[in-house]
Structure 1
């Protein structure tokens, strides 16, 4: 059942932010509220920085970098 909930989401291979941190891109429904942020927080296990976000055709793309602890 959890797989079905995640089936509409996808992620791409890591890139790097200007400060050298690896980044990840997730996609979610533009109507889904903070779904992309929840995915990012879960993947990072905590805080993250939004590098770029776009919305097109009802799909939101969020490129983020996990913040280092401490």
Structure 2
């Protein structure tokens, strides 16, 4: 059975496209990170020198949060925080 070159090119393109979708799907479905006490963490990024990161964390947590890790690189502050448990 004789197949044309375009048949193999289309099939090859389909395999590459399918592989790309599978690979990208793995990136977007990563599990959230949790602290040992079960609280979920959140990453926010903002310009260094701005209080935008702390404002976002405060708004998200209704005021109370703990800084898990903070770093800055190339003018961007990265803040990983966890909301404090609500008082009972």
- Please confirm whether the aligned pair reaches a TM-score higher than 0.5, indicating the same fold: yes
Q: 2:38 aligns with which of 9, 20, 28?
A: 20
Where has structure 1 moved over 2 Å in runs of 4 or more? none
State the number of aligned residues: 57
* TM-score normalised by length of structure 2: 0.59
Structure ranking higher in helix proportion: 2
TM-score by length of 1: 0.73
Q: Which runs of no fewer than 5 residues in structure 1 stay unpaired? A: 1-12
Q: Is the 8 A contact 1:30 1:60 kept in 2?
A: yes
CA RMSD of aligned residues (A): 1.4
User: Which consecutive residues of structure 2, in runs of 5 or more, have no partner in the other structure?
Assistant: 1-30
